[in-house]
Structure 1
Amino acid sequence: MAATRQTLARLHGARKRYGGTVALDGLDLELHAGQVTSLLGANGAGKSTAVGLLLGLLAADAGEVSLFGQPPRALAVRRHCGAMLQSAGIPERLKVRELLDLVRSGYPQPRSVADCVALAGLDGLLDRRYGRLSGGQQRRVQFALAICGRPKLLFLDEPTTGLDIDARQGLWAAVRELVAEGSAVLLTTHYLEEAEALSDRVAVIDRGRLVAEGSVGEIRARVSQRRIRCVSTLAADAVAQWPGVREALREGEALQIVAEPAEPVVRRLLDADAALHDLEIQRAGLADAYLALTRPALEEAA
């Protein structure tokens, strides 16, 4: 049996309203040492509010918010946290080296500048002014500032927006290294393949409530949806009308089908096309599971 991981941050029954709008409605969430927890939800689901409560930027109307067993605004707590948010407000005239030195000075045992450069991919940027950098370069600097204090708890809010593929892969590698050192990471992202690649735990929220939580495998197992691929002459628009078929598309000779459950659809495919071949069946990915879990709420809102 796996050892219980230390809980570094906790929301318990957290509630937050903005006027007549309920942002969080009794949300429970825990962040554990040595794990990446992805917080998923549509725009307006409450992700940014949850992050704001944990960072002490917002106060809960009700419920409990604690980091390392203390209130999030305590100085001792803030010295063990790092954050990369969607808006940064960083002085544009300062050079990257100056920014790193400034932020590192607030931590008792910061990473060396060389380590920050290596982890964030800042080669050749130290003597550049922040305001002169491209959007992707600025995001890499923001990541370096978030990790330079060796945070035990790291908040990454849409961290790879604006990054190219190589920079995104580099950030993923850096996050894995931090987690291996024992840090807890809270990740919010619209890139579900990113959450699937990095997450130890996934929490799906909708309208301020937790609708699913578990490992990527456990979230996938919540739906019986499967992806079916085969080479067939059957018309995609006709197959799309079959019971259990959620989607059917043609890609060249291949027929791509999303079905729930898959077995009756596969039997009908084989009965309808004796020449069908190259049949493949895959279980739902995280993106499929996320859509299945949130679809009822989206349909209700529509």
Structure 2
Amino acid sequence: MNTTGSPIAQLSSVVKRYGNHTAVDGLDLMLHRGEIFALLGPNGAGKSTTISMLLGLARPDAGRVELFGEDPQQLVARRRIGVMLQSAALPPTLRVGELLRLTASYYPAPRDERETAELAGVADLLKRPYAALSGGQQRRVQFALALCGRPELLFLDEPTVGMDLEARQKLWVALRHLVAEGAGVVLTTHYLEEAEALAHRVCVMARGRVLSEGSVDDLRARVALKRVRCITRLRAAEVAAWPEVAEARDEGERLWLSTDRAESVVRRLLDADAQLGELEVQRAGLAEAFTELTRAAEAPTEATREAA
């Protein structure tokens, strides 16, 4: 990963309101070349509004938004990006190859059609009408259209929704290829394992503000919970009642639990079951970190309870 040099996009003290609702509240972000930046948050966190301002589709009420040092609405900046939103209205009767050629014609130095198709995993779909494709295949085509212009910054909003496992993995490989070329990627996803696998940097938002920003390891380190897995005769319902255990469940023949007192719980497990085996203790994953970070931010304040 190479993130040296000036940011290719940034928001500085940005505020965006819709009536009495503040969607983004004093947001500061920088995006760099050669990195996958995951923007995470619960529904209503301000992610879509943030992306819309970076794309020039919405204007901030305060603060500054820059894309390659330009106003995001400037064509010279827009020609340097690729975009894959959650939904796309494309001409249904055009074949995939025709869609690729049409989209590529809008850019000064696009990828070759075959290169784009191979990278996005749609080489087998080029002669098929867009309307005849499955939902997952249409998402792959939308990804191909996003990268055909050879973007320096790629925006992906829930890109793998509707894709099967093989298609998701191919998209991951393609993203790593683009980053190796020096492109920047902005990813929003509800699949936290996707962000954990791909992102160099993660920003967690709630109520229009940044809760935490850093590497996946940085975010995981903020959470005291650890995962414990083992094979035991003890059942999840029994262990879940222990005061040190936050959550417990049976996963086939294994017991899985989370706790912020792993050493104490492990000792108690060994005392309760002398035949316990295959014991594993791991740090909390991004999912647990995300839950812990957003739980407090999403809890109603005294003011909101009184307003309700």
Instruction: Give TM-score, length-normalised by structure 2.
Output: 0.93
Amino acid at match of 1:208: G
Per the alignment, residue 172 of structure 2 pairs with 172
Moved more, 130-139 or 177-186: 130-139
Per the alignment, residue 58 of structure 1 pairs with 58
- 1:91 aligned onto 2:58: no
Give the Å deviation of 1:226.
0.6
Moved more, 158-167 or 117-126: 117-126
In the TM superposition, what are the counterparts of 1:283-302 in structure 2 within 5 Å? Answer: 283-300=283-300
Per the alignment, residue 268 of structure 1 pairs with 268
Moved more, 245-254 or 152-161: 245-254
Q: CA–CA distance in 2 between the matches of 1:268 and 1:91?
A: 62
Task: List runs of 5+ in structure 2 lacking aligned partners.
Answer: none
- Report the 3-state secondary structure (helix = DSSP H, G, I; strand = E; otherwise coil) of the residue aligned with 1:291: helix
Per the alignment, residue 209 of structure 2 pairs with 209
- 1:112 aligned onto 2:112: yes
Q: CA–CA distance in 1 between the matches of 2:239 and 2:97?
A: 59
In the TM superposition, what are the counterparts of 1:61-140 in structure 2 within 5 Å? Answer: 61-140=61-140
- Report the 3-state secondary structure (helix = DSSP H, G, I; strand = E; otherwise coil) of the residue aligned with 1:264: helix
- Report the 3-state secondary structure (helix = DSSP H, G, I; strand = E; otherwise coil) of the residue aligned with 1:119: helix
What CA RMSD, in Å, does the superposition of the two structures yield over aligned residues? 1.7
Alignment CA distance shift 1:275-1:172 (3 Å): same
Task: List runs of 5+ in structure 1 lacking aligned partners.
Answer: none
CA contact (8 A) 2:207 2:298 kept: no
Instruction: Give TM-score, length-normalised by structure 1.
Output: 0.94
Give the Å deviation of 1:253.
4.0
Q: CA–CA distance in 2 between the matches of 1:36 and 1:51?
A: 15
Per the alignment, residue 254 of structure 2 pairs with 254
Per the alignment, residue 163 of structure 1 pairs with 163
Give the Å deviation of 1:52.
0.3
- Report the 3-state secondary structure (helix = DSSP H, G, I; strand = E; otherwise coil) of the residue aligned with 1:56: coil
- Report the 3-state secondary structure (helix = DSSP H, G, I; strand = E; otherwise coil) of the residue aligned with 2:174: helix
- Report the 3-state secondary structure (helix = DSSP H, G, I; strand = E; otherwise coil) of the residue aligned with 1:136: helix
Q: CA–CA distance in 2 between the matches of 1:251 and 1:78?
A: 48
For each residue in 1:134-192, what CA deviation from the matched residue of structure 2 results, as whole angstroms up to 9, or x when unmatched? 11111111111100111001000000111111111111111110000000100000111
Amino acid at match of 2:175: V
For each residue in 1:259-284, what CA deviation from the matched residue of structure 2 results, as whole angstroms up to 9, or x when unmatched? 01322222222333333332210111
CA contact (8 A) 2:13 2:63 kept: yes
Per the alignment, residue 37 of structure 1 pairs with 37
- Report the 3-state secondary structure (helix = DSSP H, G, I; strand = E; otherwise coil) of the residue aligned with 2:142: helix
Amino acid at match of 1:223: V
Per the alignment, residue 47 of structure 2 pairs with 47
Amino acid at match of 2:168: R
CA contact (8 A) 2:179 2:185 kept: yes
Per the alignment, residue 14 of structure 2 pairs with 14
Per the alignment, residue 189 of structure 1 pairs with 189
Give the Å deviation of 1:258.
0.6
Amino acid at match of 2:92: E
**In the comparison of the two structures, how many residue pairs are matched?**
301
